[in-house]
Amino acid sequence: MSYFPFFREIEGEKCLVIGGGKVAARKISRLKEFGVKIKVVAPSIVSDIEAMAQSCDNISVERRIFTPQDIENVDFVIAAAGEEVDKEAARLCKQKEIPVNVVDNQELCDFIFPSLVQKGDMVASFVTGGKSPHVAAKLRRDFEANVSDNIESILDYLSEVRTLAKEK
């Protein structure tokens, strides 16, 4: 069954990222653009995550092994630490009804990461139900190449026109 593209406001929400590798870095890179407060827990951290944490107040890093207490008071979790840790994190999240994304294990995911295009308030996503992230990325690139560079100005204008149209 395919995933429903459920868009929601996540600015200010608390996200726990378990794992400090390249995949975790890609997830963090996408999330930081949406104003999420991100805590990364991992024994080792790649330089990309280090750089993001140094340049963004909303990202903190704790170099240590994941513990069950880490999921307390978080809104959602990204598990990217390896099969054993990821399965345990997913189990704990499901017990507490915390949405979890387990990288490369769709069966354990409550949500998946789409291939995104974001230009200001315009956000488009592409998914293939986990069947081919490569195809989703290709669709994203094709779409992005055809979105006007001034889409934000266009959307602002259309918002004004829409308000006037609704009044009349």
- What is the CA 75 to chain-centroid distance, rounded? 12
* Per-residue pLDDT tens over the stretch 94-122: 999 999 999 989 899 999 888 889 888 88
* Per-residue pLDDT tens over the stretch 74-91: 999 999 999 999 999 999
Tokens at 1, concatenated: 């069954």
Mean pLDDT in the chain?
A: 93
Whole-angstrom distance, CA of residue 2 vs CA of residue 18: 26
* pLDDT at residue 164, as a whole number: 83
Instruction: List the Cα angle 158/163/166 in 5-degree steps.
Output: 120
Q: Which of 7-21, 63-77, 124-138 has the lowest mean pLDDT?
A: 124-138
Helix (H) or strand (E) holding 22: helix 22-32
* pLDDT at residue 1, as a whole number: 61
